[in-house]
Amino acid sequence: MWVRMRTLTLRPDQPFDLHQTLSCGQVFRWQKEDNGWWQGIVGAQVIRIHQDGNTLTFRGASPKVIRDYFALDMNLPEILASIDRDTAIHAAIESNRGLRIIQQPPWECTLSYLIATFSNIPTIQRRIEALSREFGKKISEEEKYYGFPDPKAFRSRCLDSLENCRLGYRRSYLEDTACRLASDTGWEDRIRALSYEESRKELMTLRGIGPKAADCILLFAFQRYEAFPVDVWIHRIMEERYPDLRGKGNEAIRRFGQEYFGKYAGYAQEYLFAARQVPMSQASW
DNA sequence: TTCCAGGATGCGA
DNA sequence: TCGCATCATGGA
């Protein structure tokens, strides 16, 4: 089937780096092809996209979807200026400028970060692919792409094929949380209506969603940019770059990050995460 | 074989 | 409230 190719011209004063944005670990269903194009599945859409300077060329989505998904209308220079508080974050900004926090669908983001706990990125990607194959709808007959499972797929308890997804101990968490959210159509609106702290507590009532996953979900799916997720990498980076934090727990690091970087602390977290020194043995891109 | 990964849960003190 | 052990899985 012929699919229309479209283009979008970026504003020169609003930096955007497609590669940094898709390869920093915030999304799990994008792959870079040898020819420089990126291909990803968002909901039930297969999107292919390429950047050449200020021009984005893509297919599989409307320009509005692309603008919204990549948050192209947010004033990135203003955000980066607000978090650019010392040499450590400044270096992270300089080496990743153009990275934008993607606006992910809440349902998909929540389940993805639930099964992401205590795993590495390649393993997370495989789990999400397996989950999509078992419970999602086939998008393309010939290429065998599967959309992320719809909530309807989890409204019954017939989830035997979760066994094939090899989620480990996360399986029961996914089962409980997916079934609960699938039958609670108002949960997204309820989260949006709450304050940051309240919405975080609400998310943490879901089985398998703890402090870190809740902050990822708020940051990546609910545009709560004050969220500052602390995982093993951020813990390590913050201890190393801010010596006063040595020996402190994740909660203290989270609060420091939020107070220090302000209302866009989540952007600071993402830039520090993107600038982390990943051992070659663990690099996935 | 051993270590580690975008942690969360449950239990005991 | 805090610290700690435990929990599957897969890659290097």
Tens-place pLDDT, residues A187-242: 999 999 999 999 999 999 999 999 999 999 999 999 999 999 999 999 999 999 99
A209/B3 CA-to-C1' distance in Å: 25
Provide the pLDDT for residue A187. 97
Rounded CA separation A222/A37 (Å): 28
Provide the pLDDT for residue A43. 82
Tokens representing A233 are 């990498």
Nucleotides of C under 7 A from a protein CB: 2-3, 7-12
Nearest to A178 by CA among A107, A283, A237, A265: A107
User: Domains, chain A, ranges and CATH?
Assistant: 106-221 (1.10.340.30)
Residue at the smallest CA–C1' distance to nucleotide C12: A281
CB-based contacts of A208: which residues, under 8 Å, 6+ apart? A114, A117, A170, A173, A174, A176, A177
pLDDT (average), residues A124-134? 95
A161/C10 CA-to-C1' distance in Å: 20
Tens-place pLDDT, residues A42-99: 988 999 999 999 999 999 999 999 999 999 999 999 999 999 999 999 999 999 999 9
Provide the pLDDT for residue A3. 74
Q: Give the nearest nucleotide to A231, CA to C1'.
A: B6
Handedness of CA A98, A69, A55, A35 (dihedral sign): positive
Q: Give the nearest nucleotide to A171, CA to C1'.
A: C8
Q: Is the pLDDT of residue A184 over 90?
A: yes
Which of left, alpha, beta for A262 (phi over 0: left; psi -120 to 50: alpha)? left
